[in-house]
Structure 1
């Protein structure tokens, strides 16, 4: 039997952003059984360990650090912040602020809001089939295609012969608010759909290209095939690849394509742009803008995490609302920027408490609608 890592190792992995999903589960279990004084000592020690790290100066980070200091009953020492990177401070803050046994939210008016899960709907000829982590079935939509749904939250299309009859038939998988799902297409391409997203695809591929359509957010691991380019259409943008890993997000009034491996060509109106790994291309009415990407934050949801690095509060709330299924008034959201890292299984009341402490705002939830009281 594999020995469980001790808390020191789990804590170190968490702060260095190297924790696996299993590590995180064990880490949070240990914290729940640990006394508050012991946890304070761990955080206190970590924040005061001198390391040759780059200088950091940011008002929001100073606020977080001060709050951590207050929480462990010590006076703020702003000079210590200069020896911390934003990540280690924000990660320690998440430990302090993100757990219900340290801080409790008054939920007298709170409805039962829970984290999302693996669930989707498969649409065939306008008929819907529910997909979730309990579904187990198999069927054949074409002579050369077998389809299996599995309890691990995935649906797998597999081409079993060269018969092209019926391969152009279109299927759609769509995730609701609070859902995600994994699809393996007939060519072996893997697609991860985030909440409130969809993909339309043929049951099998043949001819000159492989073409699918996406709305929302999806992560692709495209099976290599030099003779048959893979094209993803989203909004007015076409993303053309041969075999690579990339993310598409079209929730805002633009389409953002982030490349992790290989290369892609963005086609938008009359514009053409090649991306290299680590870049993101943003397509909107102004054309295509290329930036360096925060790849770790972009990939976080596929690993069961939320990672927000200097993100506007309104962006944070949009992503959280798609996962926890709540609404909010965009006009009432102040201009604040956040650093947050937490497990996507975190209880909603703990998420609210983290937001409340790190922003200084008071949040209220009624009938699945979030509002700010001050």
Structure 2
């Protein structure tokens, strides 16, 4: 297929003008590339309108052969820049990742043929008794019962707390803790119906059931909340010394220790954020940033909410992000320690990448941007260098 013909077909795809024969032609072209896991509909949709593939990319991609590999401990991948970019764009379920001053790729280095897989639905539930339950080892159904509350695993990656029908005469609060490891995520529905999504390396401490006129939980790391509002029983989240109070709300809190600030972002409704004597009521699209050094709250408007909660939707999303910002997310999701050698160029990145992508596939995009990566799987380290 000629380059111009390909561009025309994709343009007609976007305008819903493809005939049955043209759609078959486009499908056949795509599937002849034999890229595992590819889906043309998903790719075009996620390409966000970036339908024009450069002639060089098209040519390199069509003529791409399997990359020869060395069978030693370290295996070297040396791909043409356009081929790397196009292969990742088609095969990994993400759209254009761009950076200023793009230069040709040299090579990416990995430790062996086995790909480092992304994180998944993993968490440990610590019951009030101190018993620990590894949730990925538990089948769907009953996990435990505490008083009149039944804890059930309703799906892979999700548990919920419901009234069991058992009479409970005690009014003691029984606290549970849900903890995700590095490379883990989990969803929980609390006894009041509030939904909480935990990102990697995070935790939430909460009562198995809420008693009285207050609902309070504590988190570390990152969590997204969809709160069941109850004016007579305010819902409050403690993250460090900061308190977030629901006023009919969906919000995200990022409180990782290695981030420069604690960020609370309102998605829907209203929320009050308080730290010491400072307090802000947020509207959707607003964010508070708490500086850990001076403990001052700063209010920011016009935040890209989609970027903030991309992890909740199975994506990495970068909007003018620096390499360290990107790699902090990579480290938490792929369970690797990131280190840098030498001085790196100050680049900014924009785009989306599916969190289901393997680490090697993700790094292929960045090798296109003239970085070199060394993965030591035994030490769980990722070393990043700038090509000379």
TM over 0.5: yes
Shift in Å at residue 254 of structure 1?
2.4
Secondary structure of 1:263's aligned partner = strand
SS state at 2:118 partner: coil
Q: 1:309 aligns with which of 319, 322, 326?
A: 319
Paired position in structure 2 for 1:82: none
Alignment partner of 1:346 is 2:357? yes
Q: Which residue of 1 aligns with 2:134?
A: 130
| Alignment counterpart, residue 262 of structure 2, candidates 255, 262, 286 | 255
The one of 342, 347, 351 equivalent to 1:336 is: 347
Q: Please name the residue that 2:222 is paired with.
A: 217
Q: CA deviation at 1:152?
A: 2.6
Aligned to 1:176, the other structure's residue is in SS state coil
| Equivalent in the alignment of 1:363 | 373
Q: Secondary structure at the match of 1:329?
A: strand
Q: 2:33 is matched with which residue?
A: 35
Contact 1:105 1:350 in 2 (8 A): no
Aligned to 2:78: none
2:334 matched to 1:324? yes
Aligned match of 1:244 in 235, 249, 255? 249
Ranked by relative contact order (alpha carbons within 8 Å, sequence separation 6 or more), the top structure is: 2
For residues 43-102 of structure 1, give each alpha carbon's deviation from its aligned partner in whole angstroms, at most 9, with x where no partner exists. 99x6577xxxxxxxxxxxxxxx9xx5642469xxxxxxxxxxxxxxxxxx976544569x
Note closer, same or farther for the CA distance 1:33–1:218 as it changes in structure 2 (3 Å cut): same
* TM-score, reference length from structure 1: 0.73
- Alpha-carbon spacing, 1:364–1:69, altered in 2? closer, same or farther (3 Å): farther
Q: What per-residue deviation string (whole Å, max 9, x for no partner) do you get for residues 206-259 of structure 1?
A: 212100000000000000111000000001100011431000001114210010
Q: Is the 8 Å Cα contact of residues 108 and 374 (structure 2) preserved in structure 1?
A: no
Is residue 114 from structure 1 mapped to residue 117 from structure 2 by the alignment? yes
CA contact (8 A) 2:180 2:199 kept: yes
Tell me which moved more, 108-117 or 269-278. 108-117
Relative to 1, partners in 2 of residues 1:94 and 1:204: Cα closer, same or farther, differing over 3 Å?
farther
Post-superposition Cα deviations, 1:336-364, rounded to whole Å, max 9, x if no partner, equal: 2111311111122110101111x311111
Q: Distance in 2 between matches of 1:362 and 1:238?
A: 42
Structure 1 stretch displaced more, 201-210 or 277-286: 277-286
Gap change, CA 1:196 and 1:343, over 3 Å in 2:
same
Larger helix proportion of the pair: 1
- Note if 1:287 corresponds to 2:303: no
Runs of 4+ in 1 over 4 A off after TM superposition: 7-13, 29-32, 46-49, 93-96, 98-101, 103-106, 160-164, 330-333
Q: How far apart are the structure 2 equivalents of 1:279 and 1:129?
A: 37
- Who is 2:210 aligned against? 205
Aligned to 1:273: 280
When residues 331 and 272 of structure 1 are mapped into structure 2, their CA distance, relative to the original with a 3 A threshold, is: farther
The answer to whether residue 239 in structure 2 is matched with residue 234 in structure 1 is yes
Distance in 2 between residues matched to 1:30 and 1:152, nearest whole Å: 35
Using the TM superposition, name which of 331-340 and 238-247 deviates more: 331-340
| Distance in 1 separating the partners of 2:266 and 2:114 | 39
Find the residue that maps to 1:115 and give its secondary structure: coil
May I ask how many residue pairs the two structures share in their alignment?
311
Q: Please, which runs of 5 or more residues in structure 1 have no aligned partner?
A: 1-6, 14-28, 50-64, 75-92
- In structure 1, the residue matched to 2:309 is 299
Aligned-partner Cα distance in 2 for 1:327–1:184? 32
Distance 1:254 1:114 in 2: 29
Q: Secondary structure at the match of 1:243?
A: strand
